Chains A and B, each alone.
Chain A
Amino acid sequence: MSDMKTLFKEGMWANNPALVQLLGLCPLLAVTSTITNALGLGLATLLVLVGSNVTVSVVRNWVPKDIRIPVFVMIIAAFVTIVQLLMNAYTFGLYQSLGIFIPLIVTNCAIIGRAEAFASKNNPLLSAWDGVMMGLGFAIVLIVLGTMRELIGQGTLFDGADLLLGPWAANLRVEIFQFDSQFLVAILPPGAFLGLGLLIAAKNVIDAQIKAKAAPSSEPEKAPRARVTSLT
């Protein structure tokens, strides 16, 4: 049980794939221009990650060490193809708007990283949990970044949610404020870099504060050394 808890903490915060490992940045930076895109890619990555982690874990004792990487890549590619076909069938609008970044999930290092570092050494149940937590941690960062960029860039939230969730979701679109001219940089790639940089900085600040609170200075304060020679 404590393993489960550790994995939860690792995936969500301490070893978050996007904020700490800095893996999978290409899709992270490219598709987070709206919440809908971020959510779509986050869910797709989550599905692939869970599927590949379980499969890799199941076959871990039969895969020769020398060719494990190609095998992992094949497994991941299979799951990506499944997700791609599913999205093509059920969320075609989102499939079109995410474009090349769905097949590119194959190259997301967060996924092969988890397969190599965790799933190939642990049992299927733990690996599945690890996949869920890592995938969620990645998806949450995607969504937070997408929210920031959509809000600053367009002043809306959930624009185009119907592409992902079906026609009823068109009502989810919220217009927070209206611009005469969009703040383009938030929607363009530089905004993604700026936003991710700010998120990482915020995480480091929070970590530093937690650390400072947890360990108040244990050394007793020394009295200042008396200066016996004068400077002038």
Chain B
Amino acid sequence: MKLSMASSPHNHSQKNLSRLMLTVIAACIPGIIAQCYFFGFGVIVQLMLALITASLSEAFMLSVRKRPVWPALSDGSAWLTAVLLAISIPPLAPWWIVVIGTVFAIVMVKQLYGGLGFNLFNPAMAAYVLLLVSFPVQMTSWTPVSSLLAQPLNLMDQASLIFFEYSANHTDLIGALTSVDGTTMATPLDTVKTAVSQNLTVDEAMMGKQFSAYAGIGWMWVNLAFLVGGLFLLKTKVINWHIPVAMLATLAFCSAIGFILAPGSHAGSLFHLLSGATMLGAFFIATDPVSASTTNRGRLIYGACIGLLVYLIRNYGGYPDAVAFAVLIMNMAVPLIDHYTQPRTYGHGAAK
């Protein structure tokens, strides 16, 4: 019998990088299913495109940088980036949108900074912002909920719209989306923002067909599905509670104050929590272990600042949704936050 002596730690964590990444991807599944149900199968096509592009560009950059390809590719971080980007962009955006975004995320934001662990910014969100700034028309033409479309788009229609920007029944994307009976194709956040800028009240804006009592039809369920996925991540201890709780609490608190002070021009907390990318951002994007703060106090500050920024940009900024911008801005502040929130090393310094 051979007794081997290993040095400590003796109790190994069963977590490893690829399992971590795959768990996060798995936790996205409820949200993806909800998106498919409400917005059509376009999101699956986008996912496939993003995954293929991400694998190819990651492999290409690794071979250019003379690094072993398979270990870095199989850790799943590139795939996670691809998934997060694909579910953030409109499901029927033309194919080159997601391809450009994914290439930018992997090549510029991740690999040029030195690969996983060295990227200053969240690759998926940096790519999202690039796309939003470059192609505002395509990036804001979000598909209306399928039940509102006069002529529902079948799978072939959707694939053909993504790849050729026209389909058998519609001449172009805008035509397909505006065949909605009397409703606009803007997202709920966009609709409310436009209405408020036209001196309508939030209540009047939410009379539209695409709203239920609390938030947009479909959007509410998509957000709840991402919430379920996020709770699963918390349960499996893939992420800590600090960032999502701080972000959601701040957003809810700010929007509650706004709603109490000026209910006509400020939507309530539930609307903000269940619209846009709130839940996706809180559980999947802001918690990125590389670009987020790493101390517990720092995480609270980081999450709270993201929540505050999301609220401010949604209400007073130029863009309808703000999670990507808020996350990128706070990514820049992470080194500062980490510097001032270092925990006391055990045995050093006095407890206050």
Q: Is A103 on the interface with B (CB-CB < 8 A)? A: no
Complexed CA–CA distance, A188 and B138 (Å) = 18
Pick from A104-112, A168-176, A179-187 the stretch touching chain B.
Answer: A179-187
Q: What is the minimal beta-carbon distance from A182 to any residue of chain B, in angstroms?
A: 8
B134 touches A184 (CB 8 A): yes
Chain B interface residue count, Cβ-Cβ cutoff 8 angstroms: 10
Q: Is A201 on the interface with B (CB-CB < 8 A)? A: yes
Q: Is A61 on the interface with B (CB-CB < 8 A)? A: no
Chain A interface residue count, Cβ-Cβ cutoff 8 angstroms: 11
Complexed CA–CA distance, A183 and B130 (Å) = 10
Complexed CA–CA distance, A169 and B133 (Å) = 32
Q: Is A194 on the interface with B (CB-CB < 8 A)? A: yes
Interface residues of A in 17-43 (CB under 8 A from B): none
Q: Is B198 on the interface with A (CB-CB < 8 A)? A: no
Q: What is the minimal beta-carbon distance from B208 to any residue of chain A, in angstroms?
A: 28
A185 touches B137 (CB 8 A): no
Q: Is B135 on the interface with A (CB-CB < 8 A)? A: yes
Q: What is the minimal beta-carbon distance from A209 to any residue of chain B, in angstroms?
A: 13
Q: Is A190 on the interface with B (CB-CB < 8 A)? A: yes
Contact with A along B136-147 (1 / 0, CB 8 A): 111000000000
Majority-rule SS of A interface residues: helix
Q: What is the minimal beta-carbon distance from B276 to any residue of chain A, in angstroms?
A: 22
Q: Is A217 on the interface with B (CB-CB < 8 A)? A: no
Q: Residues of A contacting B133 with CB < 8 Å?
A: 184-185, 188, 190
Q: Is A232 on the interface with B (CB-CB < 8 A)? A: yes
Q: Is B108 on the interface with A (CB-CB < 8 A)? A: yes
Question: Which residue of A is nearest B112, CB measured?
Answer: A201
Complexed CA–CA distance, A232 and B7 (Å) = 10
Complexed CA–CA distance, A190 and B136 (Å) = 15
Question: Which residue of A is nearest B130, CB measured?
Answer: A185
Complexed CA–CA distance, A188 and B112 (Å) = 22
Complexed CA–CA distance, A190 and B328 (Å) = 14
Q: Residues of B contacting A184 with CB < 8 Å?
A: 133-136
B108 touches A194 (CB 8 A): yes
Contact with A185, one of B4, B112, B134, B138 (Cβ below 8 angstroms): B134
Contact with B along A203-232 (1 / 0, CB 8 A): 000000000000000000000000000001
Complexed CA–CA distance, A186 and B134 (Å) = 8
Complexed CA–CA distance, A126 and B183 (Å) = 71
Q: Residues of B contacting A186 with CB < 8 Å?
A: 134
Contact with B138, one of A181, A194, A201 (Cβ below 8 angstroms): A181
B4 touches A232 (CB 8 A): yes
Interface residues of B in 1-45 (CB under 8 A from A): 4
Complexed CA–CA distance, A132 and B41 (Å) = 61
Complexed CA–CA distance, A152 and B236 (Å) = 45
Complexed CA–CA distance, A186 and B133 (Å) = 10
Complexed CA–CA distance, A184 and B133 (Å) = 7
Q: Residues of A contacting B4 with CB < 8 Å?
A: 232
Question: Which residue of B is nearest A186, CB measured?
Answer: B134
Question: Which residue of A is nearest B133, CB measured?
Answer: A185
B108 touches A183 (CB 8 A): no
Complexed CA–CA distance, A14 and B151 (Å) = 64
Complexed CA–CA distance, A194 and B130 (Å) = 11
Q: Residues of A contacting B108 with CB < 8 Å?
A: 194
Complexed CA–CA distance, A192 and B84 (Å) = 27
Q: Residues of B contacting A188 with CB < 8 Å?
A: 133
Question: Which residue of B is nearest A232, CB measured?
Answer: B4
Complexed CA–CA distance, A211 and B134 (Å) = 38
Q: What is the minimal beta-carbon distance from A125 to any residue of chain B, in angstroms?
A: 43
Q: What is the minimal beta-carbon distance from B324 to any residue of chain A, in angstroms?
A: 14
Q: Residues of B contacting A190 with CB < 8 Å?
A: 130, 133
Q: Residues of A contacting B134 with CB < 8 Å?
A: 182-186
Complexed CA–CA distance, A182 and B136 (Å) = 10
Q: Residues of A contacting B135 with CB < 8 Å?
A: 181, 183-184
Question: Which residue of A is nearest B136, CB measured?
Answer: A184
Q: What is the minimal beta-carbon distance from A215 to any residue of chain B, in angstroms?
A: 20
Complexed CA–CA distance, A132 and B138 (Å) = 46
Complexed CA–CA distance, A30 and B289 (Å) = 35
Contact with A along B110-145 (1 / 0, CB 8 A): 001000000000000000001001111110000000
Q: Residues of B contacting A232 with CB < 8 Å?
A: 4
Q: Residues of A contacting B130 with CB < 8 Å?
A: 185, 190
Interface residues of B in 53-95 (CB under 8 A from A): none
Q: What is the minimal beta-carbon distance from B129 to any residue of chain A, in angstroms?
A: 9
Complexed CA–CA distance, A181 and B130 (Å) = 14
Complexed CA–CA distance, A181 and B137 (Å) = 9
Q: What is the minimal beta-carbon distance from B131 to any residue of chain A, in angstroms?
A: 9
Q: What is the minimal beta-carbon distance from B251 to any residue of chain A, in angstroms?
A: 27
Interface residues of B in 209-253 (CB under 8 A from A): none
Complexed CA–CA distance, A183 and B134 (Å) = 5
**8 additional contacts (CB under 8 A) given A181-B137, A182-B134, A190-B130:** A184-B133, A184-B134, A184-B135, A185-B134, A188-B133, A190-B133, A194-B108, A232-B4
**20 A–B contacts, CB within 8 A, in A order:** A181-B135, A181-B137, A181-B138, A182-B134, A183-B134, A183-B135, A184-B133, A184-B134, A184-B135, A184-B136, A185-B130, A185-B133, A185-B134, A186-B134, A188-B133, A190-B130, A190-B133, A194-B108, A201-B112, A232-B4
Which 10 residue pairs across A and B have the least CB separation, nearest first? A185-B134, A184-B134, A185-B133, A183-B134, A232-B4, A185-B130, A181-B135, A184-B133, A188-B133, A181-B137
